[in-house]
C-alpha cells in the first residue's frame, strides 16, 4: 500500500502558522513512508473563499519548502462537487440517510431544552426530497466507532451519542463532513493528519467511510497551537499569517525548524536542527498530547541563529527585499539611487550578528544611504547634554586632522578627545553616534564612520553642532 496523505486547507484567509505546521507534518510523513503528498484546496465555501487566499496558500507553502510541482495537485474541492452529490444520493438510496425539514426551533420545541443536537424526529417518517429538506445520516444506535489515531491510540465513540448529522443542506449542497470524506476517498488518501479541532468530526466521518463501503484511513490528530494565554491561535487576536513572518524577515529554514519543534523534540533535545535531521527523526507518534505554545520570542531567537549561520554573501542576498522594497515588503526610507551596494557589503557582516529578523537591517544601515540621518528625537534629547557641543567641536577638529580615515584611527582619536575631559569611550562616542546615525544603538561606530566616509561624517557632526547652539 502506498501511503497517501493530504493537506486540505480552506482558502478563507491568510495562511496560518498552524496550517503550515500540519502541512509540514504531512509532508515529512509522506517522505518517511515513501508516500505521496496531495494538496487539496477546500474551496466550497463560496461566500468566504477568495482566489488570492488560494494563491497565498500556494506561495506560503512554496516558501516553507513544499514547492509547487513537488506534490500531487493542487486539487480543488469544488471540482469534485458531482462526486459529493452522488455520494449523498447513494447514502439516501441505501437507506443510510433520510430527509428532514426540522429547524433548530422545531427540535427545541420538541425536546423542550437548549438541546443543540438532533432528536431523530424524521428517521422513519419517510419525508421525500424538496426545497429546504436536508439530508441526514442515520447513525447506528448501537456499538462504537473506534478511530485508529497515530497520536492518540484508539479513541472510541459510542454510536448512540452521535446524532444523525446533516450531510447535505436544504438546497442539496453537501456539507464539509461529507465533501471532505468523498475527496479523501477519490484521492485514495490512506492517512489523515490534521489538527485536533477536527477530532469531534472524525467518528462521523469514519461512519461515512464505512457506509460508503470504503476502508477508513488511519488518522492523526495533532494538538493545536496556542498563544501565551493558552488560547487557540486566532487570526483576529494573534499574529498568525505565515506571510507576516516572511515579510518581517523570518527565514523559511528557521520557521520550519521552529514549527516542527512545537510539541516534539529530536532525540538529543537539540533545538536548532538541520532539516534533514528533522525529516529523519520526526515521529508523529511522539508528538506531545498537550497543546503547543507558539512563542514568538523563541522563534525570533531561532531566526537570529539562522541569520548568523548564513555565509555573508547569502546574508547580503537575503537582505535585498528589505533594501529594495520588493513584493509586499514596505520600501526603505532611502531612494533607490541612494543605495550603495559596496557600502552595504562593507557593513553586512557587522549587521548580521546584530539582527534577529531581516527587516531590522533597515534601521541599522539607513544612515549610510540617506542624505541626512533620521534623528530619533528621544535619543537626541537623552544624549545631547551639557558639554556635547564642545565635545563635538573637539571631535570634528581631531577628525579633520586625521591622515588616514580608518576605524582604528577614528577610535584612538575619539578616545583621546574623551580622555581630555575624563570621559570613557562609551560616553564620548554617544553624541557622535547620534549626530551621525540619528540613533543611540547600531553597528559598531568606528567601522560605520569609516564606511560613511570623511566628508559625510564631518558634515553630520557639524550639523549636529549647529543644532546645539
Ligand atoms: N478544510 C479543512 C480545514 O482547513 C480540512 C480539514 C481536514 O484536514 O480534514 O480545516
Please report the pLDDT score of residue 290 as a whole number: 93
Please report the pLDDT score of residue 439 as a whole number: 96
Nearest CA to ligand 1 atom 6: 8
Residue ranges lining ligand 1, Cβ < 6 Å? 8-10, 42, 180, 194, 198
- pLDDT tens, residue by residue, 451-467: 999 999 999 999 999 99
CA dist 192 and 186 (Å) reads 14
Q: How far is the CA of 76 from the centre of ligand 1 (A)?
A: 13
pLDDT band with cut points at 50, 70 and 90 for residue 45: confident
Residue 74: is the preceding peptide bond cis (ω within 30°)? yes
**Residue 403 burial (C-beta neighbours within 10 Å; 0-12, 13-18, 19+):** exposed
Asked if the model's pLDDT at residue 42 lies above 80, the reply is yes
Give percent of the chain above pLDDT 70. Answer: 100
Q: How far is the CA of 367 from the centre of ligand 1 (A)?
A: 48
CA dist 222 and 151 (Å) reads 7
The secondary structure of residue 293, as a DSSP letter, is: E
Please report the pLDDT score of residue 208 as a whole number: 98
Q: How far is the CA of 25 from the centre of ligand 1 (A)?
A: 14
Average pLDDT, the chain: 96
Query: Please, are residues 139 and 164 in contact by the beta-carbon 8 Å criterion?
Result: yes
Active-site residue, selected from the candidate residues 235, 382, 385, 424? 235
CB neighbour list of residue 150: distance below 8 Å, 6 or more residues apart:
191, 193, 218, 219, 220, 284, 285
Please report the pLDDT score of residue 362 as a whole number: 98
Nearest CA to ligand 1 atom 3: 9
Collapse the DSSP code of 76 into the 3-class scheme (helix H, G, I; strand E, B; otherwise coil) and give the result.
strand
Please report the pLDDT score of residue 121 as a whole number: 96
Mean local confidence (pLDDT), 279-291: 95
Question: Any bridge partners for residue 41, and if so which?
Answer: 76
The secondary structure of residue 112, as a DSSP letter, is: T
Query: Please, are residues 392 and 465 in contact by the beta-carbon 8 Å criterion?
Result: yes
Please report the pLDDT score of residue 156 as a whole number: 97
Map out the domains of the chain with their CATH numbers.
Answer: 4-77+176-225 (3.40.50.620), 85-168 (3.40.50.620), 377-467 (1.10.10.350)
Asked if the model's pLDDT at residue 170 lies above 80, the reply is yes
Q: How far is the CA of 324 from the centre of ligand 1 (A)?
A: 37
pTM: 0.93
Q: How far is the CA of 346 from the centre of ligand 1 (A)?
A: 48
**Could you tell which of 5, 6, 10 is best to mutate to test the pocket of ligand 1, judged by most ligand atoms within 8 Å of the CB?**
10
Atom of ligand 1 nearest to the CA of 9: 4
Nearest CA to ligand 1 atom 4: 9
Query: Please, are residues 3 and 29 in contact by the beta-carbon 8 Å criterion?
Result: yes
Please report the pLDDT score of residue 70 as a whole number: 96
> Of 115-124, 262-271, 344-353, which one has max mean pLDDT?
344-353
Who wins on pLDDT, 369 or 269?
A: 369
pLDDT band with cut points at 50, 70 and 90 for residue 316: very high
**Could you tell which of 198, 203, 235 is best to mutate to test the pocket of ligand 1, judged by most ligand atoms within 8 Å of the CB?**
198
Asked if the model's pLDDT at residue 305 lies above 80, the reply is yes
C-alpha cell recorded at residue 280: 529523519
pLDDT band with cut points at 50, 70 and 90 for residue 235: confident
Q: How many CA atoms lie within 13 A of 383 on its CB side?
A: 26
CA dist 109 and 128 (Å) reads 23
Active site residue 235: yes
Atom of ligand 1 nearest to the CA of 201: 9
Please report the pLDDT score of residue 296 as a whole number: 96
Nearest CA to ligand 1 atom 5: 8
Asked if the model's pLDDT at residue 327 lies above 90, the reply is no
Distance, C-alpha 95 to centroid of its chain: 45
The backbone region for 20, taken as left when phi is positive above 0, alpha when psi lies in -120 to 50, beta otherwise, is alpha
Q: How far is the CA of 9 from the centre of ligand 1 (A)?
A: 5
Asked if the model's pLDDT at residue 113 lies above 80, the reply is no
Query: Please, are residues 37 and 78 in contact by the beta-carbon 8 Å criterion?
Result: no
Residue-wise over 92-111: b if at least 16 C-beta within 10 A, else e? Answer: beeebbbbbebeeeebeeee
Mean local confidence (pLDDT), 83-87: 98
Amino acid at each position: 500500500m502506498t501511503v497517501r496523505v493530504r493537506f486540505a486547507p480552506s482558502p478563507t484567509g491568510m495562511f496560518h502558522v498552524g496550517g503550515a505546521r500540519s502541512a509540514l507534518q504531512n509532508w515529512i510523513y509522506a517522505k518517511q513512508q515513501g508516500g505521496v503528498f496531495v494538496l487539496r484546496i477546500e474551496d466550497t465555501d463560496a461566500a468566504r473563499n477568495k482566489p488570492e487566499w488560494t494563491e497565498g496558500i500556494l506561495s506560503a507553502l512554496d516558501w516553507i519548502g513544499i514547492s509547487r510541482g513537488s506534490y500531487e495537485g493542487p486539487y480543488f474541492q469544488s471540482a469534485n462537487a458531482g462526486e459529493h452529490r452522488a455520494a449523498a444520493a447513494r447514502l439516501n438510496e441505501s437507506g443510510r440517510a433520510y430527509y428532514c425539514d426540522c429547524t433548530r426551533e422545531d427540535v427545541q420545541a420538541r425536546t423542550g431544552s437548549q438541546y443543540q443536537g438532533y432528536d431523530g424526529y424524521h428517521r422513519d417518517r419517510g419525508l421525500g426530497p424538496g426545497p429546504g429538506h436536508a439530508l441526514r445520516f442515520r447513525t447506528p444506535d448501537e456499538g462504537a466507532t473506534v478511530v485508529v489515531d497515530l497520536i492518540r491510540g484508539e479513541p472510541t465513540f459510542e454510536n448512540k451519542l452521535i446524532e444523525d448529522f446533516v450531510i447535505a443542506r436544504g438546497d442539496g449542497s453537501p456539507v464539509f463532513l461529507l465533501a471532505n470524506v468523498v475527496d479523501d476517498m477519490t484521492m485514495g488518501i490512506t492517512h489523515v493528519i490534521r489538527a485536533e479541532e477536527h477530532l469531534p468530526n472524525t467518528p462521523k466521518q469514519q461512519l461515512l467511510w464505512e457506509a460508503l463501503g470504503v476502508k477508513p484511513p488511519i488518522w492523526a490528530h495533532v494538538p493545536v497551537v496556542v498563544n501565551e494565554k493558552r488560547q487557540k491561535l486566532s487570526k483576529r487576536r494573534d499574529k498568525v499569517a505565515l506571510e507576516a513572518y516572511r515579510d518581517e524577515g523570518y527565514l523559511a529554514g528557521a520557521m520550519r525548524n521552529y514549527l516542527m519543534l512545537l510539541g516534539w523534540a529530536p532525540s538529543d533535545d537539540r533545538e536548532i536542527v538541520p532539516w534533514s535531521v528533522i525529516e529523519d527523526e520526526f515521529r508523529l507518534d511522539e508528538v506531545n498530547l498537550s497543546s503547543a505554545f507558539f512563542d514568538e520570542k523563541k522563534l525570533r531567537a531561532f531566526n537570529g541563529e539562522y541569520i548568523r549561520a548564513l555565509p555573508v554573501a547569502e546574508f547580503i542576498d537575503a537582505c535585498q527585499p528589505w533594501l529594495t522594497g520588493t513584493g509586499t515588503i514596505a520600501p526603505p526610507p532611502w531612494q533607490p539611487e541612494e543605495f550603495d551596494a559596496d557600502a552595504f557589503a562593507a557593513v553586512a557582516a557587522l549587521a548580521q550578528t546584530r539582527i534577529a529578523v531581516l527587516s531590522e537591517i533597515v534601521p541599522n544601515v539607513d544612515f549610510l544611504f540617506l542624505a541626512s540621518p533620521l534623528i530619533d528625537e528621544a535619543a537626541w534629547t537623552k544624549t545631547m547634554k551639557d558639554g556635547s557641543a564642545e565635545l563635538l567641536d573637539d571631535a570634528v577638529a581631531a577628525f579633520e586632522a586625521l591622515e588616514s580615515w580608518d576605524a582604528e584611527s577614528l577610535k584612538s582619536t575619539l578616545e583621546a578627545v574623551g580622555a581630555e575631559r575624563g570621559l570613557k569611550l562609551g560616553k564620548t562616542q554617544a553624541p557622535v553616534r547620534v549626530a551621525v546615525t540619528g540613533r543611540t544603538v547600531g553597528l559598531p561606530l568606528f567601522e560605520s564612520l569609516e564606511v560613511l566616509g570623511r566628508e559625510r561624517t564631518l558634515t553630520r557632526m557639524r550639523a549636529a553642532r549647529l543644532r546645539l547652539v
